[in-house]
Amino acid sequence: MPTDDDYGYLPMGGKRRQQSQRRDKIVLAVTFVFGMIFFWVANKIWASRTFAALPSALDNYQDLNKWSMMHGSPDSQPAPPAPHERAVVSSLYTDSYVYAIATLGHSLKSADVDAKKILMYMPDRISKRSVCIVKAAGWELHPVELIPPPHNGAGVHHSFVDQYTKLSMWKLDKQGIKTAVYLDADTLVRKNFDELWNIPFDFAAVPDIYVGNAGFTIGFNAGVLLLHPSTKVFNDMISKLETAEYSLRDAEQAFLNLYFGVEALRLPYAYGGNLAIKERSEDMWAGIQKDLRVVHYTLVKPFEPVPKCGWGKTCPPDVVFDVERRKDYLQTAKKKWRGHFAAEVGWWEAEYNEMMTELGELRPPLVR
């Protein structure tokens, strides 16, 4: 009866066995080399897709901006604007941001910023009570009309569809404004920045920062801008919105990066303390605190940005003006992102509480 051993390999001679072993080693070595090459190529492809920087407006340069990068002649600069010729400008397109705007206005007062405070708003979208609140916080209301996004809004992120209206601030030269600093509603002034009024460049902004792989970029964030209003520049920008080629998703920010990308002066991060800086580098965030002028609440909003009413809609009073709802949301905001920005949300809360103590709750009797 045959056993398993009877079906084994026939014994090979010594020379034949050596040739087989040598062949096995060669096959193993070749397999290893090709495996390493495959791994290296696959790693390169993965890394290029994962760590590639976001496309920059400078990579897609188009000669749109015909204006000088300097305000006036480089050899003979105009005198700095008087306080009544300079303005801090912001915008309000929905009631849900009313307490953000009011708190920003109060922070400008706390920092003793010496300029007019002009708030662009769309009257058909903002309730009378919100108008009362922002006026009490020191804003001078400036009605504007919606500037619709190009290409019928195709490709624009839904939360940015109103943002081209921001370009209206270039027409403030008609109001006698020679220099303007624009601040988004989700910013808070921490220190005086009156030195900005003396900058001779025609446009300035703070470089952007992402928590993802792109990190620190050459492109700028449109949340803090320095500009010299000019209706000629406004008309030129509007005439090129439909033909300029840029990423439509980021709306006016992407357009401004294209239009001013080469000529723009990059301001230090202290003028636009994006919370993303802290998420990328706590050491850097700690390092700019002594100079921090403006904090930008990009990753966490201390206020409820999109309550039940939704984008572009007038919110019911019980949603926007509910005191307890605002308090609850502040506590929720402190816990977001692992509680990483609790201290910064606390800055906004302290300014908000100081404003409410000073102005009161702004209940309906004040609206009459």
Tens digits of residue pLDDT in 339-354: 999 999 999 999 999 9
164, pLDDT greater than 60:
yes
The whole domain housing 111 covers 81-366
366, pLDDT greater than 50:
no
Q: Give the CATH number for residue 155.
A: 3.90.550.10
Both tokens of residue 119? 């708030």
Give the per-residue pLDDT at 334.
97
Residue at 27 is within a domain: no
- In tens, the pLDDT along 78-119 reads 778 899 999 999 999 989 899 999 999 999 999 999 999 999
Note whether 321 and 310 are within 8 A (CB).
no
Give the per-residue pLDDT at 365.
40
16, pLDDT greater than 90:
no
3-state helix, strand, coil split of the chain in percent (to 5) is: 50, 15, 35
Distance (Å) of CA 12 to CA 15, 17, 20, 21: 8, 6, 10, 12
Burial 98-124 (b: 16+ CB within 10 A, else e): bbbbbbbbbbbbbbebebbbbbbbbee
User: Quick one: pLDDT band at residue 14, thresholds 50, 70, 90?
Assistant: low
Give the per-residue pLDDT at 162.
87
User: Quick one: pLDDT band at residue 8, thresholds 50, 70, 90?
Assistant: very low
Residue at 275 is within a domain: yes
- 10 Å CB burial of residue 246 (0-12, 13-18, 19+) is buried
Which of 62, 112, 55 lies closest to 250 in space, CA to CA? Answer: 55
Between these two residues, 159 and 174, which has the higher pLDDT value? 174
Give the per-residue pLDDT at 314.
62
Q: Which residues contact 218 (CB under 8 A, 6 or more apart)?
A: 56, 58, 207
* 172-180: average pLDDT: 97
218, pLDDT greater than 90:
no
Residue at 98 is within a domain: yes
What average pLDDT does the chain have? Answer: 85
Note whether 231 and 69 are within 8 A (CB).
no
| Angle value at C-alpha 84, between 80 and 88, nearest 5 degrees | 85
Helix (H/G/I), strand (E/B), else coil: 366: helix
Residue at 52 is within a domain: no
Would the pTM of this model clear 0.85, i.e. be above it? Answer: no
Give the per-residue pLDDT at 297.
98
Q: Domain total for the chain?
A: 1
Q: Cα(134)–Cα(106) distance, rounded to whole angstroms?
A: 10
Give the per-residue pLDDT at 311.
56
166, pLDDT greater than 90:
yes
180, pLDDT greater than 70:
yes
271, pLDDT greater than 80:
yes
- 10 Å CB burial of residue 194 (0-12, 13-18, 19+) is middle
- In tens, the pLDDT along 222-250 reads 999 999 999 999 999 999 999 988 888 78
Residue at 73 is within a domain: no
Residue at 246 is within a domain: yes
Residue at 61 is within a domain: no
Residue at 23 is within a domain: no
